[in-house]
Structure 1
Amino acid sequence: MNKGKIMLVGLGPGSHDHLTARARAAIAEADTVIGYVTYIRLVADLLEGKEVIRKSMTEELDRAIEALDRARQGRKVALVSSGDAGVYGMAGPTFEVLFQAGWTPDSEIEVEIVPGASALNTCAALVGAPLTHDFCAISLSDLLTPWPVIARRLDAAAASDFVTALYNPKSGRRTRQIVEAQRLFLRHRDADTPVAIVKSAYRPKQRIEFSTLAKMTECDIGMLTTVLIGNSSTFVRDGLMVTPRGYANKYDVAGDGAARSGEQAGRSLSTGLNGWLETLRSSGETPAQLAARYRLPLEYIVATLAEGPEADAEDSVEEPAA
């Protein structure tokens, strides 16, 4: 019997222009293609001569079980997800099913994850550069995650000034979750914080709206929508949503690009870790007062002050690899 294989294929946003070469090859290699009906429809023209198994929205475990069953028969299976299979996709439930069945990486069934662009990336590309600084993704679906867990994550992201992508923001049955998310964000963010709402990115019914945190719930939001909430620095100009990386804090961006007074190219900001520690030590304030000022845990302030500053290491690469 042939060795079975499961390929967890991320289709990206759905347009063939954004389907990776490996994703296309994996589908061509497969004997069987399994997926949610909408995802199957996105690649329907690539499925001639293959066994196609269509499943409904809430049948993720069924898809994984079907994939394992076919792979045990020696078939090559493409289990497709929109976006990336590892971002709210089929990779997680498939590994859960595999491990429950006693599978290991040394087993007869080979597993390959074929990455694809997630909604977070594709929607950001359509509206500008909203993710240039720190960001996070939170799903508002409470079908599998308790709402208090989601609410705590929303509140923490809002308080920490993350640009935040909201997945699964609203459905026919789940209409209040987006309102609760807005309420939590308004505790920490200005009402006029920019928000981009992208529906069906790179698909025929694509729709893009720019709004604000205060008014975002008035927009057309559904299950095919991703909501991008900016941070305190995000702005919209000429139809583009941009989150600055922070170059203006260090360089004369409007002038010759030289480092500002007190700053050095390739070195931490004067308000970076060591500079901040010096500020703490010279402030004359108690750890409790410092913790309140910077909204950081008292235990962290105490432990950090107890350690001496580290010398800045030479570093010719200022930015981490993407």
Structure 2
Amino acid sequence: MKFQDLKFSLLTNYSRALLGWSSLLLVLLSACGPEGRDGVKEEEFAGYWYKGLAEINVFDLTQVRYGEEREGHAVMIFVTEDFSRRKQVKLDDPSGAGADARKVMKLNMMREFVTGIYPYHTMLSVFTPVYDEVNSYKLTASVTEWCGQAFTQMNWKNSGYQVKLFSYFESEGDQELKIDAQPEDELFNLIRLNPELVPLGDVRLIPSLIYQRFSHVPLSSERAKISLEELRDNTNQFVVNYPTLKRTLTIQFKKFFPYEIISWEEVQAKPNGDKEVTKAVRRNLEMVDYWEKNNKIFEPLRKDLGL
């Protein structure tokens, strides 16, 4: 082999090796820290959400049930926590979980209201990755009242949601299915991360799990149109319209970080043309490590929250 050919060969091999080490270094660096969703500003986000506190929002609720408006309250709790991507549960030991550990924005949303003599309690939980560019890892929803209870769980696996539904109704009980679409319920979390993450235009969504339990429609993906409207007082709103379901969801939020949720409204058009309107308007917000305040001496704090 000539010297020039040997020199070229050595340089080529060196370049390939250098490129390989550079690629490996990038992988290692990305594994050591958050990759970051587009639009999530790490320093700003961490300064608000990584202080060991939860944001508790209390809303005045007007809930339509059985054709009548019911007065009650809703609570939306936003908090970040360490989550197992593989097991899809909250981690007990994040430091020992290695690459399986993921930061999520968790929403726990409760509604409480009374229908005649008996009460209703609903709870929705949504676990949305802060840094991974994928749909929410997990969603659960439950509805309990004196007639019985219903529960739904959705887990993001193999590019789709593995769904299990349980209900005391014969026609709805114990189902398993797969749905490949974005859940409506994660829109609240995407707004909190950055409203720019919410898709606009024609999309396919899985309607709210609480709506599905109340309406008794089959759980599936539906065509929807999402639009963004600018309001006054530094407030914007997303409008989600389902033409087939004749249902519209409107979410109002502050247009600047941390993008607080101000109100939400669901409008359902009935076959006779009447409209049923469920609405929640926020009246209190507190940052609290509520899990550390479970003794009786802390019960007066509920009054501060308006509960």
TM-score range, shorter chain: under 0.3
Name the TM-score, length of structure 1 as normaliser.
0.24
User: Structure 1 or 2: larger strand share?
Assistant: 2
User: Structure 1 or 2: larger helix share?
Assistant: 1
